[in-house]
Structures are given as C-alpha cells and as structure tokens.
Structure 1
C-alpha cells in the first residue's frame, strides 16, 4: 500500500459496505525522491512515482484516496440525491431535437427516459419545396422514421462510451461512425448501410474522432494519431477494401501541428487543415476526384493563421479567407475577411477590415448569403450578409447589406446551428443565456423573419423572471478591466441582502471563451441562494485576440491575478465574503485553480478543480507525453528557453505548494485521461496534504474508467454534477 508506515490506514475495497461511511484518516503517499535537472536547476519530486498507471501500488493509492473522499462526503449523500433528483425532475428526458434537412431526409436525435445515450434518426422529406421542419412529437409514431444509430445499444456492456464520427454519405445511403469504449480518445471506425441496416465488414481501429466522405461515397477520409495523441495523418479508405490498402493522403511530421480534414458546405472541395496554436495551412482537392492530389492553398508562414471557405460570388468561385496576416503594414490581430479567386488564392481583396473591438471568428458560406460569427463586448454575435447577382466588377459587387441579428438580452450567446445544405432558404440559429433555456430559430434571410422552432423545456414551472443576470467589472493589478458575468435568483423584498455564497468559475487559456449559457443543473445552486459568476480572465478569447495574447506564455500570470482581482472585487463590493466564496475550474482552468490557491488562499472557502493541469512544468518538459510539443506555443518551451522554464516554475501549482492554510479542495480526475494525466492532481493533493497547515479537507476523487470528459452517460454525469454541487453547497452552509 502506498502509505508511510504508521501515518494512515485505508480499508481494502471489501472492508466497507457500499453506501456506508468509513472512518479513515487521510492517505499519506510515500516519498520516493526523483531528481529533475534543467537549466542548472535541480528539483526533487517525491511523488513522481504516482505516474506509473500500471502499478498495483498506484491503483491502490488512488482507491485509498477515493475511499477517504467518500468517507469525508458520506454525510452529503441525501443532498447529492436531492440535487440529482432535481436535475432529473427538471429535464425533459424523452425528447427530440429540431430536424435539420439534408438531401431527401430530415435528421434529428432522440433521447428516452431511462436511457443514458442519444439515438440518431431521420424521416423522409415529404414536400421538396417545404423547408419547415416537421413538428415531431416524442410520444407519437413518426411516419417513415429510420433509426440510424442507437448509442445505447452500441454502448451496452461498456462502462464508458463516447461517439466520435457520425457522418452520412452525400447520397444518404451510408453511415460512418466511430466509438471509444475506454476513454482514451482512440476510436473504432465502422460503417453501416442505411438501406439494409447492415454493419459492413470494414473496420478501422485507432482513429481520431472524425470522418469525411468523398462526394460519390466510394471513399472515406479519416485521421490517426501518433504516440502523443496528436492527429498527424490523413488516410483514404476505399469502402469494401482491406485496411492494409488504405492510402496516406497527408502526413505532418512537425510535432507542433495537428491535422484535420473536412469538406466545404458546397461539397465542391475537400479540405485538409494543418495547424499549430499560431500557424495554419490548408490543402484543397476537388471532391469529385477523391484519388487526386491535394494542393496547398496558401503556404504556412510562422505566426499566420487562416481558414478558408468556398463561396460563389457574382457567378464566380471564390475562397473567403479569415486571416491575421499583416494588412497595410499592420498585423490584423483580430482577423480580417478577404476573398480571392479559387485559382489564385494569394490575390486577395479585403472585404471586412481589422477592428480593435471586434474579433472575427468564422464565416459560413451558402448559395445566396454568408454568415459571420464574431464577438464584440465579450459576447458572441451573428450577422447575415446577402450575396447579390451584381456582376459589374465594381468594389463590393456581389455583396448586399449585412444585418446583425438582435435578441434584446444584456448577456447571451448566439451561434449558427445545423445547416448542412448549400442552398436553403432558412438559417438555423441557436440562442441561450444564463437564464434563457436554449432556443432554436430558423432565420429567413429574404425577409428578416426569425421563427422560433423549439425552446428547451425545463419542467417544474421554471420562470426566467425569477432569475437575473448582469455584467460587472473588476480592475486588475495593471488597471485592465476584467468582465464578470453574474447570474442569481432574483432578489426580492425580505431576502437576505448580505454577502451571498458564490461559485466563481474561470478558465482563461487557448483563447477559449466562457459564454453565457443555460444550465438545468445550475438551478439547484441558484435556488439554494448561491450566485454563479464567471471571471472572463485574460488567456481566454472573450475580448479579442490580444486578450488571449496577454494571458499566455510569459504573460500567463495575468490569468491568475485577473481571477484574484475578480474575487477581491466581489468581496470588496459586499457581494460575497471569503467564507462563502468557492472557486471552480477544470483542465487548464484547473491550473488556474491551483495557482490562485497558492496566490490568495485567504479569499476562498473552497476550490473545486476538475481534471486540473496542476503540474504543467513537469508535463511541458516531457515531449514524449501526449500533446506536449503542441502545447509549447501556448506555454512556451521550457526545455529550450530558461526564461520560460523559470517563469513556469514560478506559477506551477505543484511546484509552489507552501506551508500555509489552504481552503478546502476537491480535485476530480479520470484514470484514462490522455489530456491531463491523473498523476497531476494525484501528486498535487499528496504534496498539499504533506505541506499545508491547518485542517482544511483536501480530497481527490478519481474516476477509474473515464477520460478527460469524465464519466459517460447522462445519468452518470448528473450524479457527478450532484456530487460536486453537494460539496460546494455543504461548504458554504447551504447543504439543505
């Protein structure tokens, strides 16, 4: 057993009756000094031995931690059950998505009460001229319904299940789908004949999630990953042939780059995309020539990112580029939109110039309009840009007047939904906010009409007027204003106006934006008086590309100090208090949690860290670990650059655990996670327990059969959410 003799005891798995509390003392990991030497700096790591996933001693230690966590949280079981029951009672378990039209079919997914996973279905288009999706009812028989894939049947017998690829051929006769039953994100790709229901003999193991059909349905393009889980190779498989005859279409040897493949909505081109964190390159091939050679669209240039879509403008084939190259002597940090002839992609004309306050994020091309996705004032927005028949050749010819969609909400997220067809008279749009359940609209570009097709049902009498959301601002150490999004149950006369228990969430990496979104499970917090807040710290993308640039590599500490500034602002304004403020973050947001635990432990009653990246320097120093080399553009390369090494060491949560009082900590991880290895939180908690002063509970919970996304199946996920929420509620005195 991985314990120092005499310092702790752990029951074996058979010592306890399931569901009963077991009185155990905290596990104490043994210390095995291991030296690490870089740039003249010797580090002794006493818990690196926990990295050996195949060691029975390591597994026993993780199980001991699980037993301890269960013993310390057993009294919360009634609360966990109550939260789970609330989530279940509010959820429309048997439901249908809004059908999306592709070819001769309407495609949709179903969920059923009592079933963990979704069911993918379709029904025939009755009138080719009618683009109104059929109003399907979950309890009624659907004429002509065809079940394409029942994930519940495929998942049967497996503790974990994830669906990767789900791609129907252009003629609607074949389905490519892939599954992961371990959690390591390596998928088994299979094929189904939708005319007969037969699963074909073709099987391809060890693929990345996606799959792209050739136009004629004879070939499938898929990706594989290298030993570091980097998608590095695109393959072409001819249906009905042996896997051994599959052809490598593209291989990327540079370990900084990922590879992906897809097709334009027009179906005219196949596109391979090669990208690092800061550089991209596209390759193109006509879809009707699947065995042809891909050609480079624009050669990669270090620090230049671009994407391209095919459009037909004024009768001419064009590629529309979003890029951040230099334009008129100025780097287009927030990207510009340009167009070029397909046979001369370097000959570009700027359509939308750079703006400091608008970050262009995507362009979707349709037969008669474009859709721009962008963000302004820390919110995602959508605009529709009609294409005209003007062929005069004058500047702006072929483009009409752009219209931004308005929704009348202070905080919201709007985005493009499922729109598979190139020529369609409607545009599927999704809208949500912290208090607005997901709404699905069809927008009619020709008239400007916005038609509500479906709103997420929240059972039990949910009324959005019972809740309020607003934007607040904190001021960082360097004077930068940091947005905070806040949602709570509406305060009425007679309510306690004092500092409210608050869950403050943060992420702050990879230019990822934490946008307003509705959560059924979050209602269990709000209805118990908790306030939910999001700190939109630098390192994310909410305020544009420079917001990201000023929270990565050698400016990464801004992410952490921004979060601390948000916490201090909420405390100083009287909105909350340190004894009722809990911080929450996962993955790279878990790095944020570990960093603020070291920086300002006095501000928080607790810290919830999911699959936390808390030992970043050890990981980023090891290029043999999954995805490490790719990460150097995000964090810097500490192997080659001593400045990066010592900067990372100065903020790494694991490296900087100190003899100080920490808040209560719950770290949740997964044994099969390939992105943030379980060993990081395991080492972190072991060092915290050996070093921290005070008596705050330090808990580690490891899912023993899951990956980076945690457990699979909606009921299991609800149980996990209930576990974490019960911990938060109990910590701030709302555990009733």
Structure 2
C-alpha cells in the first residue's frame, strides 16, 4: 500500500555554517606546486579538529531538524516491515544445525545450534521463534559482547571441525583491529587464550588444536599469518607466512574437503597460493604456482576420478591471447603446472568462482550483466553435464549459500531481485528439484506484484552501452523523483537485491535506479579495465550519461534527481558534482573518497600502496599524477552552483579517512556559489561501515532517506 502524503515540512533552521580556518600547506610533485589550505584537518587528536567536526554535526542537525518527523516515520516503516524476532535457515555442519536468531529490541544477532537427528538428516528443522528448540545451545550472543560499547563488530566466528571449539573476535572501536577469544562449546567456558590486534577471520587445522590467524601492518594491510596452539601464550605463536611487498594482501582459509590449508596472496592484478596438508599444521606451506605480474589465479581442491586435483581459475595467456574473462583448468595437486583446459575463454562470460564438493562442482559466472550459477556433476569418468539455474525474471541475483560440508545431497543457494525478497533454496542434486527453505519476511501489506523492475541502456559518448537497472512502484507517472546509485570501482558489481528500507522511497513515488558504470564488474573484466587507472574518467562520464539518458527518456528531471554513492562510489559522487552539477537536485556521498590524489601520494597512509594497481602510482608517474589531479573532486572544486550535498563519514574509518570529506566540504563551503545546502555528518564512534547495530543503522538510513526525499521533492 502506498504511503500517505507527508504534511509540508517547516523550513530548515537558520544557522550560520561553520567556516574552517585556512592553514596553507605546500605540496610539490613533478614540479607541480599545490597549496592545500585544509590539510590541518587530518589530525583527529587535535581538539580544534574535533571542535570543527562537532560544529559541522551541530549545523547538520539544525539544518535537518525539520526532517525529524519524516525520519521517524521512515524508521518506523522499516521497523514495522521487519520481522524483528526471527531465525535464519539452519545450516548443517558435522553433528549440528547452525543458525542465528534475532530478537525484537536487540541490536545484534545471537548464534545458536541444535543437534541433527542422524546421519541422513539433511532437511533443516522448521524452527519456530515461538517454541523452545530442544537441546538448543547459544554459541555467542553479540548483544552481551557489545554491552557498554558505542560500536561493536564481529570479525571471526569459526567453529572447529569437530564442533567442540569456537574462535571469535570483536572490534569495539571501528578501526578493524580485533581481539580473538576461544570458547569450549562442551562446557561454555572461555579459554584463557586471548590474541589482540588481529585481522578478521580464523582458520582451524583439522587437529582442532591449532588455529591460524592474520595480523596487519601499520597501513592496516593483512600481511602476516600466525599459528596459535591452544593453551600456549600469544608470545609463543609461530609466524608461518609474511608478505613484505606492500602491494599484496594476505588471507588464509581451508578447502571444503578439509584436506588443505590455503594461504592466498593478492594484489589488484596478481595472485599466488600456498598450501599445506591440514593434518600437519606445523609443516611448511609450499607454493602452488609462483606469482607472475598480471596473472591472477585461484585453486580449489577436488577429487576427480579418484585423484586429488586442483581446479585452477586463471587469466593467463592461452594460445597467445590473454584470458581476460578467465578460464578454468584442472591439474594434479602434486604438479599444479600440468594443466588441462576445462572451460575456455569467452568474451561474453566472466568466470568468477568454482566450488568443489565430493560429487559435484558449482560454477559462478556473469553473463549479460547478471550473476549466474551452474551445477556440474563429477562422475566416475570425470565431468558430467553442466546445468544452469534459471529464473523467470528480467533482473535477478543468484549465488551460493552456506555449504560447509564436503559430502551433502543438496546445494544451498540464495536468489532475489530488486522486487523479490531474498530466498534461500536447497537444490536436490539427484533430482534437480529446488526446495524453498525461506523467503525474507516483509510484514504489512507488501505485494511484489505492486512493483516493477526493468533494464535501460544509456549510450556513452564513446558509443558504449551502459546498463541501468530501474525499480519503481507500478502506476507511478513519469517524470518522477529518482535516486540514481553508482559505484564503479574494484570490479565490484551492484547486482539486483531486495531492500525493505527502499520500500519507503518507492511507496512515496520515488524511482530507484542503478548506473552499472565502467570500473565495476557487471559486464566482465574489460568493463573493469576500462574504468580504472588512466581510463578512470569513464566511470564518471558513464554516470553522467546515464543521468542524461533518464532525463531524455522522460523518467525524471534534474530538479527531482538525487545521486548516491559511497566509498569509491563517493569519489564518483564528488567527480559528478564537478562535471554535471546541473543534472542533480542533490548528492548523497557516504564515506566518500574525494581527496584521492593526496591519499595515493602518501604511502604511509593505510592501504595506499595496495591501491596503486587500481588508480596508478602518482608518485612515480607524472602522467598518472596529472590524470588523477584532473578528476580529483577536492582538487577541482570551483566557484559555481553545486547541488545540495550530504557527506557522511566516520572518525575511525581506516579505509577512507574522515579528513577527505571534511576537507572537501570545507573547500566547497569556501568556493561554491548559490544557496544549495551543504552538510557534513561525522559519526564520532564508528568506522568505514558506519554505525553498528541494526536499529542504529535503520536510524541512519532513515536520516538519509528523509534528506533524499526532501531534496528530490518527493514529500
């Protein structure tokens, strides 16, 4: 049912905006002298910096005071549509079914388990929130762990293979450094072992006595793998792997078969794997395939025809041509270089992942800007016939779910769309039947048939066709208010996904659209390659061309369109504000990467060196320096009319430092013309993901949506 029209909101409170002082700081690179007047805002321990951020918060609060009734209404709508006391679909691992509970009034999930009925029990129990679950065991209550903290995040939650031990880690600051603890699930007691300063994640060896974890360097880069033996002090932990090259991240995990521990080392363009038999955790890891610049690969353990083999997904040169969209090969575990081709290269299909089970494989890939999933049986003679899962929807997403067991008769997967609440299925391997285990509950009078989703294509200046996903309530008369979202970096794809919160926009007559711009991964690896480093401007111009298409097609008007993006998508927002301010009524920028040149020039900042493969190295390359300077939002602020801008950041963010939007807003305030609203909101106890806790997140979403609706004229 559509939302009733809002009563007219009073005007914003008249309060003078904060004005940041100017402290000239000179920067010289490649003979170019830059004077930065707001670099002093970088020191978050400076009382004057904190005072400025708090003044901006006070100004934002005053300017949005009139929206609080609408904000409260949107928050209550999200809350009313959400089944607050609920359970996830149980996942079988070993002798237990694992699931999470949520409770009305509680911010965080509670992790639980209950015993299976027997070896053949593969039908998840139909648990009820209203009935006590026999033999239920609470493994971890995050609400208890979060008590007394303004911020809480879980970094590791890993149960040992025999189900007796739990490794978990928590962050209570938002800086993504976690403290790891261990719990004996037989007694419920915490072990004395405590490991501070870890990165997310924990991996058990098959002996249930050794656990592997990661630490980060001064730039927050996971660079070292450690082995901890339960019952021994942290000082006795063994360093088993260290990556000194600052371009590479390190990760560790184990194969689904539990036979091998795997260390993965990767930059943006190069990867390398190391393996160790899990039964010998104190042994030496050995390289699978030595790294070669520009070659990425993954290796998944499978048993084919009784032989241990690695399934190797790679983008190396095949028959003289670079396999940009990746190929799949297999090879003996004891000789990974002896590869045979299984799936060759295709220009229109981007292979993304392969998962191995005892008797089948699962392929994940992209075609026509949508994710796909296929089941591939393993037979006595090798590989059977692949079957792609299909759905009767124009736009959809599909992906593997929780499938921890090596031997299982079903495959758990999830699917959904912009208008279809997310669904959890079990695919029966023997029959091909798809069993619906759960659909995301949406309370109230929600009816999927009241909404529609479509695909548009915008023509870029160079002739490239850019996909746009459009979602709206049926019966909306065009042109209508519209929120245009974009990201376009790191080969990340914005796939169709349902949002309970978004209904508060759609039911007020607002259209939601996603511009699948270059730099993302929706259309394959070349889509990404043509939106990074020295082609990065395609990301920005694609978004502008998508906005113009929506206006020219009569879907919306510039007076009613708001642009939205976060992190690297916030860079997109800042660039678009400079390129085409006349196209938008407002821009919502979350933790925006709007001062990229200053950050990428400083290798001492968190994650900078790793980013050089994505953006280029402006320190070493004058061409890269000049190119980045030509699009950097902060560098290109001008004396012109900008749309209304809302910038949201977090003071403990380690990925995009709060100083970037703080400097950007300060410079905009000093230079822009006109009377459009300019707001900066800084969370004073959060990290890159913003506030923690579901109610706190709903309140933040409601705040943004109220601003968006007001700015787009949808209220």
- Structures share fold, TM-score greater than 0.5: yes
Alignment of 1:304-453 (within 5 A): 304-390=295-381, 398-453=382-437
Residue of structure 2 equivalent to 1:228? 219
**Match 2:156 to one of 165, 178, 187:** 165
**Match 2:272 to one of 278, 281, 296:** 281
CA–CA distance in structure 2, aligned partners of residues 86 and 363 of structure 1 = 40
- Deviation string 1:399-431 (CA, Å, 9 cap, x unpaired) is 000000011111000000000000000000100
CA–CA distance in structure 2, aligned partners of residues 731 and 360 of structure 1 = 41
CA–CA distance in structure 2, aligned partners of residues 118 and 288 of structure 1 = 33
**Match 1:576 to one of 556, 572, 582:** 556
Residue of structure 2 equivalent to 1:507? 487
CA–CA distance in structure 2, aligned partners of residues 565 and 196 of structure 1 = 61
Q: CA deviation at 1:33?
A: 0.3
CA–CA distance in structure 1, aligned partners of residues 681 and 479 of structure 2 = 30
Residue of structure 1 equivalent to 2:454? 470
Matched, 1:459 2:443: yes
- Deviation string 1:363-407 (CA, Å, 9 cap, x unpaired) is 0000000000000000001000000012xxxxxxx1000000011
Matched, 1:518 2:498: yes
CA–CA distance in structure 2, aligned partners of residues 157 and 21 of structure 1 = 35
CA–CA distance in structure 2, aligned partners of residues 730 and 75 of structure 1 = 10
CA–CA distance in structure 2, aligned partners of residues 688 and 409 of structure 1 = 44
Matched, 1:664 2:644: yes
Matched, 1:124 2:115: yes
Matched, 1:727 2:707: yes
Q: CA deviation at 1:734?
A: 2.1
**Match 2:293 to one of 296, 299, 302:** 302
CA–CA distance in structure 2, aligned partners of residues 364 and 636 of structure 1 = 33
SS of the equivalent of 1:209 reads coil
CA–CA distance in structure 2, aligned partners of residues 217 and 461 of structure 1 = 49
- Deviation string 1:154-187 (CA, Å, 9 cap, x unpaired) is 0000000000100000000000000000000000
SS of the equivalent of 2:435 reads strand
Q: CA deviation at 1:461?
A: 1.8
Residue of structure 1 equivalent to 2:4? none
Residue of structure 2 equivalent to 1:698? 678
Kept in 2, the 8 Å contact 1:21–1:70? The answer is no
Residue of structure 1 equivalent to 2:262? 271
Q: CA deviation at 1:21?
A: 8.4
Kept in 2, the 8 Å contact 1:285–1:295? The answer is yes
Residue of structure 2 equivalent to 1:553? 533
Residue of structure 1 equivalent to 2:620? 640
CA–CA distance in structure 2, aligned partners of residues 431 and 237 of structure 1 = 38
**Match 2:588 to one of 579, 587, 608:** 608
CA–CA distance in structure 2, aligned partners of residues 625 and 42 of structure 1 = 21
Residue of structure 2 equivalent to 1:687? 667
Residue of structure 1 equivalent to 2:8? none
SS of the equivalent of 1:387 reads strand
Change (3 A) 1:21 1:155: farther
SS of the equivalent of 1:427 reads strand
Q: CA deviation at 1:22?
A: 6.4
Kept in 2, the 8 Å contact 1:317–1:341? The answer is yes
Q: CA deviation at 1:138?
A: 1.1
CA–CA distance in structure 1, aligned partners of residues 633 and 572 of structure 2 = 9
CA–CA distance in structure 1, aligned partners of residues 84 and 615 of structure 2 = 42
Residue of structure 2 equivalent to 1:713? 693
Matched, 1:55 2:35: no
SS of the equivalent of 1:551 reads coil
Residue of structure 1 equivalent to 2:610? 630
CA–CA distance in structure 1, aligned partners of residues 107 and 215 of structure 2 = 28
Kept in 2, the 8 Å contact 1:212–1:221? The answer is yes
CA–CA distance in structure 2, aligned partners of residues 511 and 498 of structure 1 = 32
- Deviation string 1:429-483 (CA, Å, 9 cap, x unpaired) is 1001000001000001211100000001000021000000010000001000000
Q: CA deviation at 1:24?
A: 2.2
SS of the equivalent of 2:63 reads helix
SS of the equivalent of 1:76 reads helix
Alignment of 1:521-532 (within 5 A): 521-532=501-512
CA–CA distance in structure 2, aligned partners of residues 361 and 490 of structure 1 = 35
Q: CA deviation at 1:103?
A: 0.3
CA–CA distance in structure 1, aligned partners of residues 508 and 178 of structure 2 = 41
CA–CA distance in structure 1, aligned partners of residues 631 and 709 of structure 2 = 29
CA–CA distance in structure 1, aligned partners of residues 669 and 705 of structure 2 = 23
CA–CA distance in structure 1, aligned partners of residues 677 and 14 of structure 2 = 14
Matched, 1:482 2:473: no
Alignment of 1:102-181 (within 5 A): 102-181=93-172
Q: CA deviation at 1:128?
A: 1.5
Runs of 4+ displaced beyond 4 Å: 20-23
Residue of structure 2 equivalent to 1:393? none
Kept in 2, the 8 Å contact 1:614–1:680? The answer is yes
Query: What RMSD in Å do the two structures reach over aligned CA positions?
Result: 0.8
SS of the equivalent of 1:684 reads helix
Q: CA deviation at 1:192?
A: 0.3
SS of the equivalent of 1:190 reads strand
Matched, 1:209 2:226: no
TM-score (norm 1): 0.95
SS of the equivalent of 1:428 reads strand
TM-score (norm 2): 0.98
Q: CA deviation at 1:498?
A: 3.3
More deviation, 127-136/252-261: 127-136
CA–CA distance in structure 2, aligned partners of residues 559 and 733 of structure 1 = 27
Q: CA deviation at 1:578?
A: 0.4
CA–CA distance in structure 1, aligned partners of residues 350 and 630 of structure 2 = 32
CA–CA distance in structure 2, aligned partners of residues 488 and 21 of structure 1 = 29
CA–CA distance in structure 2, aligned partners of residues 352 and 95 of structure 1 = 42
CA–CA distance in structure 2, aligned partners of residues 223 and 731 of structure 1 = 44
SS of the equivalent of 1:460 reads coil
- Note the residue ranges of structure 2 that are not aligned, 5 or more in a row: 1-10
CA–CA distance in structure 2, aligned partners of residues 529 and 199 of structure 1 = 52
CA–CA distance in structure 1, aligned partners of residues 469 and 554 of structure 2 = 16
Q: CA deviation at 1:105?
A: 0.2
- Deviation string 1:542-573 (CA, Å, 9 cap, x unpaired) is 00000000000000000000000000000011
Residue of structure 2 equivalent to 1:15? none
CA–CA distance in structure 1, aligned partners of residues 12 and 228 of structure 2 = 54
CA–CA distance in structure 2, aligned partners of residues 227 and 284 of structure 1 = 27
Matched, 1:66 2:57: yes
- Note the residue ranges of structure 1 that are not aligned, 5 or more in a row: 1-19, 391-397
CA–CA distance in structure 1, aligned partners of residues 445 and 50 of structure 2 = 46
Aligned length: 705
CA–CA distance in structure 2, aligned partners of residues 140 and 462 of structure 1 = 26
Q: CA deviation at 1:130?
A: 1.9
